[in-house]
Every structure is written in structure tokens, then in C-alpha cells.
């Protein structure tokens, strides 16, 4: 970041805090996005199984996932709203000049999100009183609404990367806006599918990881096996798909944003037979320290043959490309993402092999250890993918048309640093509390499950009716329904 | 022509947010004033129950307003967010605290946690509408023009402060009126009178603030004053007053079927009157709708997107509100998810 300041003498002092604030809030929000987009889908799958096979364990899982979703969706809504404030608070220059060119994607996102919020409210609060199948069918459009919402956001982001659909007048202001061209930009397709599949994969691995921990701790009951198998299967199927999509997205960047590609692969000079560096650091004189060098590979990956010419960073003036530090950041993020993605493919293959061989989960504890951290690893790849695309775009906010420094607010740097401090404190508290609440929910459920297992062992089978759509609360299982229903309070305590 | 239409869509979306979001802010206001844990237990239970299924949806109106602003009137969006930096930033923080506090309070089973989350929710419910109102007041008073730098002058002036306070009072009024009906719906008869009294008090506050607002508007927001004291602006203000009085009458007669509609109408008509009063400016008196409008092609598409939204979101919203008012939407209880008490739970 400091070298940015050195390179661009006209960098305003508020640029750094503005970027940090945007980065921090977006990095936080993006952790919740996989669950907003894909958790409804996974829950609906489980719900379908519960209804179709009259499976009480699946029903319990689907209900518990909805209970988590209720909290997670709320935090996602508010942290997402902050981002739309920040477009104006931090980057008024971009919105003022380009808002009418690329803003429409957000319009699609807004109504898709409206639909999602309505449907999710009906789903989360419809468990008790709606008819089971009516309730289920009302949730079926949810994944489609979520995909539509992602459409809007990615349309806007891919436009920033490959802006089109406008002409420029003498003052450099956009004229002759063509909305369709501005929505379906060259980077839109690759970015959209890569993003959407990432969301489903991540949600699948994270949810499965929770039950992998349970299985590792010896809770090898049907509840844990089902809770693990369904989301993990979704994620495992998507993993190889994602690898192909990621590969084609990288090649799309190579063709449409060659300088960004050069940053993610730390290619200094335009050349053929370019080697691939795994990690390593780009110095500002163009040399590379450390890293694993594989001859020719970068050219082969980009164009399938060693003679492919790869554009280097020095093909454009220093002020128009990411700095060495930024390139190194994008490169590391990209490499971490690819490494984790490759490891996840191995995990998915292990799982597939085990199913083909003996129609069962792998027996090895190492498989479940890996599965338990796959969710966290996937969240890391989401962050890395986002860092790659955003840092690799620097110094442009609208690629080749507006610099980040031209878009930034005129607010004093001090105010922005102060706001960053406030926002960090608020977010740490909110996310910490969210995590604590979800962990406590898990504890309550585990205590109840262990209690009912003990009760089942102690009591004759006919008194055991733990499942059913509307069973009476049992003293052991429904500890948090104090005061009875007479004063209308029992529901309120939940 | 198209720009004018989109400008009205924006005014309608602001009115919708003022009504739908306002009701939730109002609920938060009464949560703040509900007293200690024991004393405020039942009002808070009602607020929780009434708000939970709909507040996220209501919040989306605000995003809709922003999208229309930056896509339809990008220069206005830029000017407002540059000049009103601090109140908007604080409103954003308030939104996070309010939503997170509300969502995290529900699954908490410890009194101490609930107190913290509840306080977060309630205090932010007071501050957020104030700051958003202050922004509107500043715009109406002509404190924002293209290129205005951020300064306290833009929003810490009599018109802004008064609009902020009016926003709090109006949301408190809406919240109490809705909670009256909700209390009846949930069969909590003691709470009906509890919120009826509060609705009447909030209406008195609105009236007092509106009366103070007369000289303030006259002096500080001259252009809007002219618009409100003649033509369609005046008509809507009179209608809003009639609706407000009708709400009071209905409350006094304990007839809660229509009171929600009249209260919503009074707030929406007030926002509409402001829209008429500002014509043809989006930023009085420096930037007109036509000057601020974005590319014509985009505006046409924005119209199409809005039409699709009406067709798709309209029925969904109706379904949600119908299911909600029919009492079909209930949160999952601990019995439904089979949860036990964790160590340390004391509620």
C-alpha cells in the first residue's frame, strides 16, 4: 500500500482508509453470502427428503438449519445494506459518473432480494402452521431468487472489470448507454458461474464440517451421518465442476484483462514460454524471490502450448497497473485458492471412491478430519477469490476508465479511520455474538439429543415419541418454554 | 417524462420504507421504553413476535430507494452522500446494530445477553430514523447541492433536526398503532390498551412537532413551504392530517380493523406531499429532476425493472403480509428443533 502512495503522487490521503473500510466490510459480509445463497437450497433438499420418506431425522435437521438460517440471514441483510451505503459514502465519484451505466444490475438484485426475503420469511416462520407440502413448495423458488440476486451483484462487479455499453463525450462522461451490453459484459459469464458454484460448495462443506466434527467425536448416529452426507455430496459433486469453471475464468481474465492476469501470475515482461510460479514474491524491479518455478507452465495453462505469449505487467505504465506488492497479494490469493481447490478435489475423489467401493462413508478418521476443515478452507478460498479479482483490478475502479483515487470520497482521512475503527468494533462484536449464539444453539441440541438417547435407553419404547410434526414439548427437550402458554409467553421465549 | 416517472417511483419507495420500515423502528422505540426485564417482558414479547417475520423484507425498501437513486439520478446520489456523510454513515452503523441486536436477542436464553442485544436494537431503532430523517430534512431545506462538501451545516440545522425528530415520532406512532392490532391478533388484550395509549401519545408528539415545524419550514425550507401551502402538496397534507385524525378516532373507539391503514396513509401522504412540494427539484433549489436524470436508455430499463418488481414482488409481499396477519407465521420453538437448556441459560 505504501508503494502505491510512492508511485501515485496524487493519491489522496483518504484513499487508504476508504479502501480498508470497503475491504473489511465486504470481507466480513462475503463470509455470510454462501449461506444466504446456498443454505436454503441444502435445507430444502433435506426438507424434501424428510417429507418424501417421512424421515424424522431429516426433518429435525431441516428445522435446525432453518433456526440457524434465521439468525444468519438477518446478519447478512444488515451487513449487505451497509455495502450499498458505502457505495455512496466511499465511492461517490464512481456512482455519480457511472451509476446510470452499471447501476441497473443492482436493480435486478434489489427485487430478487425482495423476493428472497419474503420467501425466506415464509419458510422460516411457516414450519408450525402451514401444511407440510405447501410449506415446502413455497420454499422451492428460494434458490432461484438467490441466484437472481447474485446475478445483479456479479453483473455490477464484472462491469467494473470489463466495462462496456457506453460511449464517451468530449468531457469523458458516458453517453449512449446500452444497458444490455453493460449487464452482459465479457467477464460476466465466467465470474457468475464461478461465484455461484463457490457459494454452493462452501455452504455444503461448512455444514458438512459441523457433522464431521460430531462424527469424529464418536457420535456416529444417523443424525450425524445424514447431516454430513447430504451437504457433503452437494459440495463434492460441485468441486470438480468448480475447478473447470475456475480454470476457464482464469483464461477469460487472460484474454480480457491481460494485465490483471499478469499480476495474478506475477509475469513481469511480455514473453512466450513463461514459467509458472507457485507463490513467491514479486520485487519492484521485476525479479521474483522465492516460490516454486515450473518452466513453461504459465504459457501452457493460458494457451495450451509453451509458445503462448503472455502479456507482462510492464506492458503498461507503472501508474496503470497493480504495484509489485499488490501483484504479490493477488498472486498469493490466487495460488492459495487454487491449492485449496485442488486438495478439495482429492477429498471429493476419496468420497466418491468410497461410495463406489462399499456404498458407505470412508472409514478413515483422516477423511473426517479433512472434511471438518474443508468448510473453513472453502471460506478461505472465497476470500482469496475475491481478493484476486479486486486487488488484481487496481488501480482502476472502472477498468481503464476511472481510478480508485478518482472515485474516492472527499471526506477527511481522519474521519474515515475513525469510522473504520467503529465499524471494526461493531462487526467483531456482532460476528462474535453470532458465532456464540450458533454454538450455544448447537450445545442445546446436543444436550437434548444426548438426553433423549438416554431417555430412550431408560424407558420402554412405547413411551418414546420424540418426533412428529407437532408433539408436545417434553420437559427434557423443551427446557426453554417457561411460564406455560397461558400468558402468551411460551412462544415469545423462543 | 420518464425521469419524472422514476422520480415518483423513488418517492413511493421512500414512502413505503417510511411506512414498512418505520413501523419496525417504532416497535424498537417502544422496546426501548418498555422498562426493566420483568416490567417490559410482555410488550417485548409482542414486539418480537410481530416484527420477526417481516422486518428483513421491510428493510429491502431502503436498498430499493438507493438503487433508484444511483441508477436514475446518479448526480443527486453523489451529492447527497458527499454532503450528508456523517448522518448516513451513522445510519448505516445504526442499521447493523438494530438488525443484529434484534436477530441475536431472539435465540438468547440468558438475561444478561438479552439485555445487551435488546439495548442495541432499541437504541439503534431510535437513532437510525433520526439520521435518515435529518438527511431528508436537509435536502428539503436546500442544504445539499452538487459539490457541497460534508459539513455539520448540511444536517445539524433546525429543519434537519426537526425532520429527524418527526421521523422518530411518526415511527413511534406507526409502531404503536400496529402493535395495538398485533396485540389483538395474538390475544394479548392487556397490551391492546397499553399500545393504544402510546399511539395516542405519539400522535400528540407528531402534532406538536408539526406545529413547531410550521415556522421552521417557513424560515428554513422556503421552497418546500410554498409547495406545501398550495396546490397538490397542500391537498396531500390535509389528507394526511385527516387520516391521522381518523386513526386517533378509530383508536379512541377501540376499532382496530382500519387504524393500521389510516396511520400508514397519513405517513405515506406526508411523504407524497413532500414529493409534490419539491417538484421539479430533486435537490431544491439547485438540481431539477431533468438535470439529475441518468441516461434515457437506463431510465427506460429502470422502469421495466420496476414493473417486473411490481409483478413479482407485489404478490409475494401480499402473501407474506396476509399470512402474517392471519397468524400463520410463527417462529420455530425449542420444542420444534428439540433444544434443551444449555448451562447458564436462565430464561
Query: What is the distance between the alpha carbons of residues B126 and B168, in angstroms, rounded to a whole number?
Result: 7
**Min Cα separation B288/chain A (Å):** 15
Of B48, B320, B47, the C-alpha closest to B179 is B47
Of A31, A48, A36, A32, residue with least CA distance to A148: A36
Place of cell 458527499: B82
Q: Which residues of A touch B317 (CB under 8 A)?
A: 114, 118
In the block, which residue shows the cell 473500510?
A21
pLDDT in tens, A380-430: 999 999 999 999 888 889 888 888 888 888 888 888 999 999 999 999 999
Backbone angles phi, psi at A174, to 5 degrees: -70, 135
B203-240 per-position pLDDT tens digit: 999 999 999 988 888 888 888 888 888 889 889 999 99
pLDDT confidence bin for A3, thresholds 50/70/90: very low
Rg (CA), chain B: 21
CA-to-CA distance for B128 and B117, rounded, in angstroms?
Answer: 16
Q: How many residues does chain B have?
A: 347
Q: How far apart are CA A10 and CA B84, in angstroms?
A: 25
A443 chain-B contacts, CB cut-off 8 A = 342-343
Q: Is the pLDDT of residue A455 over 80?
A: no
- CB contacts of A183 in chain B (<8 Å) are none
C-alpha cell, A419: 469510522
Query: Is A422 within 8 Å of B319 when comparing Cβ atoms?
Result: no
User: Is the separation of the CB atoms in B114 and A136 below 8 Å?
Assistant: no
Identify the bridge partners of residue B283 per DSSP, sorted by sequence position.
B287
The closest CB to that of B309, out of A95, A111, A125, belongs to A111
**pLDDT of res. B87:** 92
Q: What is the mean pLDDT of chain A?
A: 84
DSSP label of A407: H
Smallest Cα distance from B90 to chain A, Å: 9
What is the rounded average pLDDT of the residues A269-298?
A: 84
Question: Contacts from A161-165 at CB under 8 Å and sequence distance 24+?
Answer: A161/A185, A161/A187, A161/A191, A161/A256, A161/A257, A161/A260, A161/A389, A161/A393, A161/A399, A162/A186, A162/A187, A162/A256, A162/A257, A162/A399, A163/A98, A163/A101, A163/A102, A163/A398, A163/A399, A163/A400, A163/A401, A165/A101
Q: What percent of chain B has pLDDT over 90?
A: 35
In this prediction the pTM is 0.87
**What pLDDT, on a 0 to 100 scale, did the predictor assign at position B254?**
86
Asked if the Cβ–Cβ distance from B342 to A423 is below 8 Å, we say no
**In angstroms, rounded to a whole number, what is the distance separating the alpha carbons of residues B127 and B101?**
14
Mean pLDDT across the stretch A436-456?
83
Residue B143 contacts A, CB cutoff 8 Å = no
Q: Fill in the DSSP letter of residue A220.
A: -
**What distance in Å separates the CA atoms of residue B243 and residue B262, rounded to the nearest whole number?**
5
Give helix B55-72 / helix A92-102 axis angle, nearest 10°. Answer: 90
CA distance B136 to B274: 10
Q: Is residue A466's pLDDT more than 80?
A: no
Instruction: Select the residue of A73, A99, A447 nearest B56 (Cβ to Cβ).
Output: A73
Nearest to A79 among B66, B96, B337 (CB): B96
Rounded CA-CA distance B284/B224 in Å is 8
Of the candidates B186, B301, B347, which has its C-beta nearest A488's C-beta? B186
Task: Find the residue in B nearest to A470 (Cα).
Answer: B336
CA A448 vs CA A130, A227, A442, A480: distances in Å: 26, 17, 10, 11
Determine phi and psi for A493, rounding to 5 degrees.
Answer: -80, -5
Cβ-proximal residues to B335 (8 Å cutoff; 6+ apart), any chain: A471, A472, A473, A474, A477, A478, A481
Average pLDDT over residues A166-195: 86
Interface residue B304 vs chain A (CB under 8 A)? no
Report the 3 state secondary structure along A16-37: HHHHHHHHHHHHHHHHHHHHHH
Q: Which comes out higher in pLDDT, residue A2 or B126?
A: B126
For residues B89 and A412, give the distance between their C-alpha atoms in angstroms, rounded to a whole number. 14
What's the ipTM? 0.89
* CB-based contacts of A359, cutoff 8 Å, min separation 6: none
- Distance between CA A490 and CA A479 in Å, rounded? 11
- Structure confidence at residue A474 (pLDDT): 40
Cell numbers found for residue A147: 441466484
Question: Alpha carbon A466 to chain centroid distance?
Answer: 36
* Residue in this structure with the C-alpha cell 435486478, named with its chain if needed: A108
Separation of alpha carbons A270 and A254, rounded Å: 12
For A344-371, what is each residue's pLDDT tens digit? Answer: 999 999 999 988 888 888 888 898 999 9
Query: Which helix (H) or strand (E) is A403 found in, with range?
Result: strand A402-403
Q: How many CB atoms lie within 10 A of CB A145?
A: 23
Q: Where are the domains of chain B?
A: 2-222+292-328
Q: What is the pLDDT of residues B124-160, one digit of tens each?
A: 999 999 999 999 999 988 888 888 887 778 888 888 9
Distance CA(B51)–CA(A492), nearest Å, equals: 12
Q: What angle do CA B108, B110, B113 make, to 5 degrees?
A: 70
What's the 3-state SS for chain B?
A: CHHHHHHHHHHHHHHHHHHHHHHHHHHHHHHHCCCCCCCCHHHHHHHHHHHCCCHHHHHHHHHHHHHHHHHHCHHHHHHHHHHCHHHHHHHHHHHHHHHHHHHHHCCCCCHHHHHHHHHHHHHHHHHHHHHHHHHHHHHHCCCCCCCCCCCHHHHCCHHHHHHHHHHHHHHHHHHHHHHHHHHHHCCCHHHHHHHHHHHHHHHHHHHHHHHHHHHHHHHHCHHHHHHHCCHHHHHHHHHHHHHHHHHHHHHHCCCCCCHHHHHHHHHHHHHHHHHHHHCCEEECCCEEHHHHCCCHHHHHHHHHHHHHHHHHHHHHHHHHHHHHHCCCCCCCCHHHHCCCCCCCCCC
Per-residue model confidence (pLDDT) at position A10? 66
- Residue B198 C-alpha cell reads as 402510546
For B341, list phi and psi in degrees, rounded to 5: -80, 135
Q: What pLDDT, on a 0 to 100 scale, did the predictor assign at position A483?
A: 35
Please state whether the peptide bond connecting residue A260 to the residue before it is cis, i.e. omega within 30 degrees of 0: no
Whole-number pLDDT of residue B66: 92
Is a pLDDT exceeding 60 seen at residue A9? no
Under the banding of pLDDT at 50, 70 and 90, the label for residue A459 is low
3-state secondary structure of A429: helix
Per-residue pLDDT, A6: 45
Q: Which residue of B has its CA nearest to A71?
A: B103
Buried b (16+ CB within 10 A) or exposed e, B299-332: bebbeebbeebeebbeebbeebbebbeeebbbbb
| Cβ–Cβ gap B317/A78 under 8 Å | no
Whether the bond between A368 and the residue before it is cis, its omega within 30 degrees of 0, is: no
C-alpha cell at A420: 473504520
Residue-level pLDDT at A364? 85
> B282 or A340: which carries more pLDDT confidence?
A340
Q: How far is A153 from chain B (nearest CA, A)?
A: 12
B41 touches chain A (CB under 8 A): yes
Q: From the candidates A100, A108, A142, A478, which should be mutated to test the interface with B, based on the most B CB atoms within 10 A?
A: A100
pLDDT band at A43 (very low <50, low <70, confident <90, very high): very high
Which residues make Cβ contacts (< 8 Å) with residue A298, sequence separation at least 6? Answer: A265, A267, A274, A275, A276, A277, A310
Partners of A407 in beta bridges: none
Closest of A50, A73, A231 to residue A136, by C-alpha = A50
Residue numbers in B near A128 (CB within 8 A): 330, 332-333, 336
Kindly report, residue by residue over B76-119, the tens digit of the pLDDT: 999 999 888 899 999 999 999 999 999 888 888 888 888 888 88
**DSSP-derived pairing of the beta strands A396-398 and A292-294:** unpaired
Least confident of A93-107, A471-485, B30-44, B218-232: A471-485
Lowest mean pLDDT among A136-140, B67-71, B339-343: B339-343
Which of A305-309, A393-397, A485-489, B217-221 has the weakest average pLDDT?
A485-489
Q: What is the mean pLDDT of residues A292-311?
A: 84
Instruction: Report the residue of A72, A75, A112, A125 to disrupt the B interface, i.e. the one with the largest count of B CBs within 10 Å.
Output: A125
Distance CA B333, CA B329 (A): 12
The percentage of chain A sitting over the pLDDT mark of 90, rounded to a whole number, equals: 33
What is the mean pLDDT of the segment spanning B52-67?
88
Give mean pLDDT, residues B161-180.
93
State residue B270 phi and psi, 5-degree precision: -65, -45
Measuring CA to CA, which residue among B122, B112, B125, B104 is closest to residue B44?
B122
pLDDT at A363: 83
Average pLDDT over residues A324-353: 92
Mean pLDDT, chain B, rounded, equals 88
Min Cα separation A216/chain B (Å): 22
Amino acid at each position: 500500500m505504501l508503494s502505491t502512495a510512492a508511485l501515485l503522487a496524487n493519491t489522496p490521503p483518504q484513499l487508504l482508509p476508504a479502501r480498508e473500510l470497503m475491504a473489511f466490510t465486504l470481507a466480513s459480509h462475503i463470509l455470510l453470502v454462501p449461506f444466504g445463497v446456498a443454505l436454503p437450497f441444502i435445507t430444502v433438499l433435506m426438507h424434501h427428503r424428510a417429507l418424501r420418506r417421512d424421515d424424522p431425522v431429516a426433518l429435525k435437521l431441516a428445522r435446525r438449519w432453518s433456526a440457524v438460517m434465521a439468525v444468519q440471514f438477518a446478519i447478512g441483510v444488515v451487513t449487505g445494506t451497509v455495502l450499498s451505503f458505502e457505495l455512496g459514502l466511499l465511492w461517490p465519484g464512481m456512482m455519480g459518473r457511472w451509476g446510470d451505466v452499471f447501476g441497473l444490475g443492482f436493480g435486478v438484485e434489489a427485487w430478487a432480494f425482495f423476493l428472497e426475503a419474503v420467501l425466506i420469511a415464509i419458510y422460516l416462520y411457516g414450519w408450525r402452521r402451514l401444511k407440510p407440502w405447501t410449506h415446502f413448495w413455497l420454499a422451492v423458488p428460494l434458490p432461484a431468487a438467490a441466484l437472481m440476486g447474485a446475478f445483479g451483484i456479479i453483473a455490477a462487479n464484472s462491469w467494473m472489470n470489463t466495462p462496456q455499453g457506453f460511449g464517451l463525450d468530449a468531457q469523458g462522461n458516458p453517453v449512449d448507454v446500452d444497458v444490455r451490453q453493460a449487464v452482459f459484459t465479457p467477464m460476466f459469464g465466467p465470474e457468475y458461474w464461478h461465484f455461484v458454484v463457490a457459494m454452493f460448495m462452501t455452504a455444503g462443506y461448512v455444514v458438512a464440517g459441523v457433522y464431521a466434527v460430531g462424527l469424529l467425536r464418536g457420535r456416529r448416529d444417523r443424525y450425524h451421518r445424514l447431516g454430513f452426507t447430504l451437504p457433503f455430496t452437494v459440495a463434492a459433486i460441485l468441486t470438480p465442476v468448480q475447478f473447470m469453471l475456475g480454470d476457464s475464468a482464469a483464461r477469460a481474465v487472460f484474454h480480457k484483462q491481460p494485465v490483471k492476469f499478469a499480476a495474478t501470475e506475477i509475469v513481469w515482461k511480455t514473453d512466450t514460454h513463461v514459467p509458472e510460479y507457485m507463490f513467491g514474491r514479486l520485487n519492484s524491479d521485476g525479479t521474483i524471490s522465492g516460490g516454486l518455478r515450473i518452466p513453461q507452465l504459465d504459457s501452457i495453462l493460458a494457451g495450451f502450448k509453451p509458445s503462448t505469449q503472455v502479456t507482462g505487467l510492464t506492458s503498461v505504465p507503472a501508474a496503470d497497473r497493480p504495484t509489485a506488492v499488490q501483484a504479490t497479494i493477488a498472486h498469493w490469493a490466487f495460488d492459495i485458492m487454487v491449492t485449496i481447490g485442488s486438495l478439495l478435489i482429492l477429498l471429493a475423489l476419496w468420497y466418491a471412491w468410497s461410495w463406489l467401493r462399499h456404498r458407505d462413508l470412508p472409514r478413515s478418521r483422516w477423511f473426517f478430519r479433512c472434511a471438518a476443515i474443508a468448510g473453513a478452507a472453502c471460506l478461505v478460498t472465497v476470500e482469496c477469490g475475491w481478493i484476486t479479482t479486486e486487488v488484481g483490478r487496481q488501480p482502476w475502479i472502472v477498468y481503464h476508465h476511472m481510478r480508485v483515487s478518482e472515485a474516492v470520497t472527499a471526506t477527511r482521512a481522519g474521519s474515515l479511520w475513525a469510522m473504520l475503527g467503529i465499524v471494526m468494533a461493531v462487526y467483531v462484536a456482532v460476528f462474535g455474538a453470532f458465532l456464540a449464539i450458533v454454538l450455544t444453539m448447537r450445545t442445546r441440541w446436543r444436550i437434548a439429543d444426548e438426553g433423549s438417547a438416554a431417555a430412550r435407553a431408560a424407558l420402554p419404547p412405547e413411551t418414546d415419541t420424540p418426533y412428529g410434526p407437532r408433539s408436545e414439548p417434553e420437559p427434557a427437550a423443551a427446557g426453554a418454554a417457561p411460564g406455560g402458554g397461558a400468558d402468551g409467553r411460551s412462544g415469545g421465549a423462543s | 417524462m420518464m425521469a419524472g416517472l422514476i422520480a415518483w417511483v423513488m418517492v413511493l419507495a421512500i414512502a413505503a420504507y417510511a411506512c414498512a420500515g418505520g413501523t419496525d423502528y417504532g416497535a424498537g422505540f417502544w422496546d426501548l421504553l418498555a422498562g426493566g426485564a420483568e416490567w417490559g417482558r410482555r410488550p417485548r414479547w409482542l414486539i418480537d413476535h410481530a416484527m420477526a417475520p417481516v422486518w428483513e423484507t421491510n428493510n429491502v425498501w431502503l436498498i430499493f430507494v438507493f438503487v433508484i437513486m444511483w441508477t436514475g439520478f446518479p448526480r443527486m446520489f453523489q451529492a447527497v452522500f458527499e454532503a450528508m456523510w456523517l448522518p448516513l454513515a451513522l445510519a448505516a452503523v445504526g442499521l447493523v446494530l438494530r438488525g443484529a441486536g434484534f436477530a441475536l436477542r431472539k435465540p438468547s436464553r440468558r438475561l444478561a445477553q438479552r439485555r445487551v442485544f435488546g439495548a442495541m436494537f432499541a437504541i439503534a431503532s431510535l437513532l437510525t430514523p433520526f439520521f435518515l430523517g435529518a438527511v431528508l430534512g436537509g435536502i428539503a431545506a436546500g442544504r445539499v447541492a452538487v459539490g457541497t462538501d460534508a459539513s455539520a451545516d448540511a444536517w445539524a440545522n433546525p429543519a434537519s433536526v426537526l425532520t429527524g425528530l418527526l421521523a422518530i415520532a411518526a415511527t413511534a406512532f406507526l409502531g404503536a398503532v400496529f402493535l395495538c392490532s398485533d396485540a389483538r391478533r395474538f390475544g394479548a388484550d392487556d397490551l391492546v390498551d397499553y399500545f393504544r395509549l402510546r399511539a395516542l401519545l405519539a400522535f400528540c408528539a407528531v402534532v406538536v412537532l408539526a406545529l413547531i415545524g410550521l415556522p421552521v419550514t417557513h424560515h428554513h425550507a422556503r421552497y418546500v413551504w410554498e409547495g406545501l401551502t398550495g396546490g397538490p402538496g397542500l391537498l396531500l397534507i390535509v389528507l394526511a392530517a385527516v387520516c391521522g385524525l381518523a386513526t386517533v378516532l378509530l383508536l379512541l373507539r377501540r376499532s382496530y380493523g382500519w387504524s393500521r391503514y389510516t396511520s400508514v396513509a397519513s405517513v405515506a401522504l406526508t411523504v407524497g406531499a413532500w414529493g409534490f412540494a419539491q417538484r421539479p427539484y430533486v435537490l431544491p433549489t439547485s438540481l431539477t429532476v431533468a438535470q439529475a436524470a441518468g441516461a434515457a436508455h437506463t431510465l427506460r430499463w429502470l422502469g421495466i425493472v420496476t414493473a417486473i418488481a411490481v409483478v413479482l414482488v407485489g404478490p409475494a409481499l401480499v402473501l407474506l403480509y396476509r399470512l402474517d396477519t392471519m397468524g400463520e407465521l410463527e417462529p420455530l420453538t425449542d420444542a420444534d428443533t428439540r433444544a434443551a437448556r444449555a448451562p447458564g441459560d436462565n430464561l
